Amino acid sequence: MIEGQNKKLKTGFIKEAAKSKYHDALIRASKVLESIIGASGRATWKRISSRIYVTFTLWLLEKGKMHGYELLQEMRSAGMEQIRASRIYPLLNKLEDAGLITSKVEGRRKVYSITAVGKAWLRISKKVFNNRANMVSNFLRDMVCEEKKK
């Protein structure tokens, strides 16, 4: 089931990206990020969680620029206690390579901010995740209703 969901998620994203004025940049970003979020095909929980990290990182940066440690603390306070600095910094480098974020050295820290392409990616990801969340919610509701009938 996960494999099919991954294919739908990728297809949903590509389909939505085609409607964006940033289509080419989004497709390039998708190719850069394949090493962490996976290409179409078999999904793993690690790849799914990586997609969540990408989306969550962009969402945090949409609120305002932050340095890496600040992003790490925000993620941990949101319940992602297992994320480590050894994972966040390579993710930030990939997001920058993909053109979704930029960085600038301010004082002794590297501060990250979201780009217009990153905002487009985030908007599409929110829509795709919302569609998947609705599907899961409907499934769980139906499953609970079925159990109550027994």
Distant-in-sequence contacts of 106-111, Cβ < 8 A, 24+ apart:
106/67, 109/67, 109/68, 109/69, 110/67, 110/68, 111/65, 111/66, 111/67
Q: At 1, is the pLDDT very low, low, confident or very high (cuts 50, 70, 90)? A: very low
Is the CB of residue 71 less than 8 Å from the CB of residue 92? yes
Q: What is the pLDDT of residue 2?
A: 36
Whole-model pTM: value is 0.70
- In this prediction, residues 83-106 reach a mean pLDDT of 90
Is the CB of residue 38 less than 8 Å from the CB of residue 6? yes
Give dist(CA 69, CA 65) in Å, integer. 12
| Span 98-148, pLDDT tens digits | 899 999 999 999 999 999 999 998 988 888 777 767 777 777 777 777 766
Q: At 5, is the pLDDT very low, low, confident or very high (cuts 50, 70, 90)? A: very low
Looking up residue 42, the CATH number of its domain turns out to be: 1.10.10.10
The total domain count for the chain is: 1
Q: What is the pLDDT of residue 144?
A: 75
Those residues whose C-beta lies under 8 Å from the C-beta of residue 62, and which sit 6 or more positions away, are: 114, 118, 119, 122
Query: What residues make up the domain containing 53?
Result: 2-149
Q: How many CA atoms lie within 13 A of 87 on its CB side?
A: 16
